[in-house]
Amino acid sequence: MQLRIDNEYDRLEAVLVHRPGKEIERLTHRNMHQFLFEDIPYLRRIQDEHDRFTDKMRDAGVDVVYLESLLQEVLQDAGARRKLIEDVCQTAAVPSIVEDLAGSSYWDAESLTELLFVGLTPEEYQETTGREFSPSQEGAEFLLTPIPNAYFSRDPAVVVRDAAISSKMHFPERIRETQLTRAVLENHPEFASHQIAYGGTDEPTEDRPYTIEGGDVIILSSEAVLIGDSERTRSETIEMLAGKCFHAGQVKRVYEIPIPSDRAFMHLDTIFTIVDRGMVLWYPKVMTTLSHINRYEPSDPGEGYGARRVSEDRDFLTILRDEFDQDVTVVNTGGGSEHFAAREQRTDGANVLAISPKVAITYERNERTVEALRKHGVTCINIEGSELVRGLGGPRCMTMPLRRTLSVCSSVIVLA
């Protein structure tokens, strides 16, 4: 697998996804908010919707790769299996079950793969091993919690040109998503020729508080990226990552875009996406009222490899025009109606996935946003999303692009 992502809109060649599995059935009215859901999806229907989504990508020539399939192959290797299980059990504060999971006596690679998504209850542990395990927290439902958000594969990792960045998730309930994706990137033969530029398992633990998630990263040009300072991504992380990218000589400007720390706007890509060079889709109520924007540039050579923060005096639209080096077409969610923009923001109207210039996968339910895109010449490939959207994510959220065709004019860096 050759990793290569140089912008947001060139033809998508390969993408990593996770098909929603039995972890969805772990959700109840009592725990759904803990696992960041507003409602309980119907498993068979959400799988059907996801299958139709991936079929649409295949029809467009995209190679769809499943995280769970790669993970199962990684778990065939005893060393990689033990390393991952130790990591997972340490995070879950259940180190005493490492030997049971790392060995192959109770769970083979296939069943362990499912367990790592679905989680493990005390009753299931006893039924499988014949030993009783009492959680440290009385009445705890799980020894290992499920990860029902795993089908939002955009957040755990991001490809940066021919490298990858492993995210640091904000909520503890999502940390294992990063652990599983990172295990694949570090251990699967398909990715042997690439490296993790940030967030690898060999990095110092003090990086942990510096949270960042893939949905906050938007590529602007060959020299610049946007990163949302959001509910999930910290400003300190943006500054640190900017310095690392400047040191690598790949990025000249990083823009920090502060968005409301609100579940309705959890990532930058829930209110802003790019569908072609010089054409963007946004939720105007937020994107036209940004309080300020910070720009990071390389610090002076005498100060080491760091980033210098500059308070940006241009407005957001002017920045876009300068970075695209052309006039910018702005498409508003809801077609410009404040009422329908608010409705379709809730169902991820702005979170579209460009699979080639002016060709985007969208939720059919966001009819007025789709109509507005089509009026601007965008081909919309509609998918159903009645169950998929219950986790508050759209087509872009559900994909981790691995490779896009490099066009003649492209020479860009991604950050996350």
pLDDT at 100: 95
What is residue 57's predicted lDDT score, i.e. its pLDDT? 98
In this model, does residue 411 exceed pLDDT 50?
no
Q: Do 192 and 233 reside in the same domain of the chain?
A: yes
What pLDDT shows up at residue 410?
42
Tally the domains of the chain: 2
Question: Residue 1 falls within a domain, yes or no?
Answer: no
Sign of CA dihedral 249, 156, 66, 87: positive
Q: For the stretch 239-265, what's the b/e string if a residue is b when 16 or more beta carbons lie within 10 angstroms of its beta carbon?
A: bbbbbbbbeeebbebbbbbebeeeeeb
pLDDT on residue 205: 47
Q: What are the tokens at 316? A: 């957001």
Q: Is the pLDDT of residue 27 over 70?
A: yes
What pLDDT is stored for residue 251 in this prediction?
73
Residues tagged active-site: 397
Highest-scoring range by mean pLDDT, 203-217, 243-257, 332-346: 332-346
102 and 217 co-located in one domain: no
H/E segment holding residue 246: helix 235-248
Q: Are 212 and 123 found together in one domain?
A: no
Query: If pLDDT is split at 50, 70 and 90, which confidence band does 63 have?
Result: very high
Tokens of 69: 């399939």
Q: What is the mean pLDDT of residues 101-108?
A: 93
pLDDT higher than 90, residue 221: no
Confidence (pLDDT) at 224: 85
DSSP codes, 27-68: --TTTTTTTT-SS---HHHHHHHHHHHHHHHHHTT-EEEEHH
Strands 217-219 and 307-311: unpaired
Take residue 27 and report the two structure tokens written for it.
Answer: 């959700």
pLDDT of residue 208: 57
Tokens of 310: 């500059």
* Residue, of 302 and 132, whose pLDDT is higher: 132
pLDDT confidence of residue 305:
66
For residue 141, being part of any structural domain is answered with no
Check pLDDT > 80 for residue 125. Answer: yes
Residue 121 placed within a domain: yes
Kindly state the average pLDDT of the residues 226-249: 87
What is the rounded average pLDDT of the residues 345-350? 95
389 within domain boundaries: yes
Is 227 a residue whose pLDDT tops 80?
A: yes
CATH at 300: 3.75.10.10
For residue range 166-207, list pLDDT tens digits in order: 899 999 999 999 999 999 999 999 998 887 877 877 765 445
Judge whether 282 lies within some domain.
Answer: yes
- The model's pTM: 0.93
Quick one: how far is CA 62 from the chain centroid? Answer: 18
Residue that the structure tokens 């959700």 belong to = 27
Whether residue 79 sits in one domain with residue 62: no
Percent with pLDDT over 70 in the chain: 93
Residues 237 and 197 grouped into a single domain: yes
* Cα–Cα nearest to 42, from 54, 34, 52, 50: 50
- Residue 198 to residue 231: CA distance in whole angstroms: 21
Quote the pLDDT of residue 206: 42
3-state secondary structure (DSSP) of residue 11: coil
- pLDDT value of residue 201: 77
Same domain, 337 and 257: yes
What's the rounded Cα separation, in Å, for the pair 414 and 397?
A: 16
CB 154 within 8 A of CB 406: no
Q: Of 229, 237, 246, whose CA–CA distance to 206 is shortest?
A: 237
Q: What is the pLDDT of residue 413?
A: 32
The predicted pLDDT at position 198 comes to 77
Domain shared by 191 and 213, yes or no? yes
The answer to the question of residue 411 being in a domain is: no
Same domain, 193 and 331: yes
Burial class of residue 330, CB neighbours in 10 A (0-12, 13-18, 19+): middle
Does 53 lie in the same domain as 102? no
pLDDT confidence band for 133 (50 / 70 / 90) = confident
Q: Do the domain assignments include residue 344?
A: yes
Task: Please say whether the beta carbons of 416 and 165 come within 8 A.
Answer: yes
What average pLDDT is seen over the chain? 91
Contact 232, 211 (CB under 8 A): yes
What's the domain range around 83?
71-129
Check whether residue 205 and residue 311 sit in a common domain. Answer: yes
**Whether residue 256 is found in the same domain as residue 243:** yes
Last residue of a domain, one of 83, 99, 129: 129
* 287: confidence class by pLDDT, cuts 50, 70, 90: very high
Rounded to a whole number of angstroms, the CA Rg of the chain reads 21
CA distance 269 to 50: 20
**Domain boundary residue, one of 101, 129, 157:** 129
215 and 261, same domain (yes or no): yes
Residue 235 lies in a domain: yes
Both tokens assigned to 324: 């695209």
Where residue 299 falls (left for φ over 0; alpha for ψ -120 to 50; beta otherwise) is beta
